[in-house]
């Protein structure tokens, strides 16, 4: 995040990003993976090494990777959901960065005000 941007500008940008956070589209956390699987039929091509293509959605839950099967008919839709989740996550990071800058600027301004008040008191006492 850039230094020197005013709090008002940061807040305006943050609010605009928050408004764009979701587009009303569905989303899902995880990664869509294409894997090769064997069906178990001893006469099938997969028993000789040419595996069937399957898709799974994986994500971490409590430190463990969980997978769910994604039907072929849903692969395109689930891909869009995963992409939407990633887009939202990027915007959340941007909002977080802007809020961190707002906090840091507030601290700098507050300290400057306190320092200026102390200087003013010292000048008035002399």
Average pLDDT over residues 85-91: 94
What integer is the mean pLDDT of 93-117? Answer: 87
Q: What is the DSSP string of 7-69?
A: HHHHHHHHHHHHHTS--S-----SEEEEEEE----TTSGGGGT-PEEEEEEEEEETTEEEEEE
pLDDT at 86 exceeding the cut of 50:
yes
> Residue for token digits 């939407």?
84
pTM here is: 0.72
Q: How confident is the model over 5-62, as pLDDT tens digits?
A: 788 888 888 888 887 877 778 899 999 999 999 998 999 998 888 999 999 999 999 9
Q: How far apart, in whole angstroms, are the C-alpha atoms of residue 30 and residue 67?
A: 9
For residue 35, list its beta bridge partners: 54
What is the band of 1 on the pLDDT scale with cuts at 50, 70, 90? very low
Q: Could you tell me if 91 and 20 are in contact, meaning their C-beta atoms sit under 8 angstroms apart?
A: yes
């Amino acid at each position: 995040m850039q230094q020197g941007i005013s709090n008002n500008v940061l807040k305006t940008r943050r609010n605009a990003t928050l408004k764009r956070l979701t587009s009303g589209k569905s989303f899902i956390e995880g990664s869509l993976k294409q894997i090769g699987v064997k069906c178990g039929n001893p006469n099938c091509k997969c028993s000789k090494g040419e595996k069937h293509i399957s898709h799974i959605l994986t994500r971490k839950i409590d430190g463990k990777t969980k997978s769910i099967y994604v039907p072929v008919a849903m692969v395109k839709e689930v891909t869009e959901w995963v992409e939407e989740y990633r887009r939202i996550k990027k915007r959340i990071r941007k909002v977080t960065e802007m809020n961190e800058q707002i906090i840091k600027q507030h601290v700098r301004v507050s300290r400057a005000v306190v320092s200026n008040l102390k200087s003013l008191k010292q000048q008035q006492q002399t």
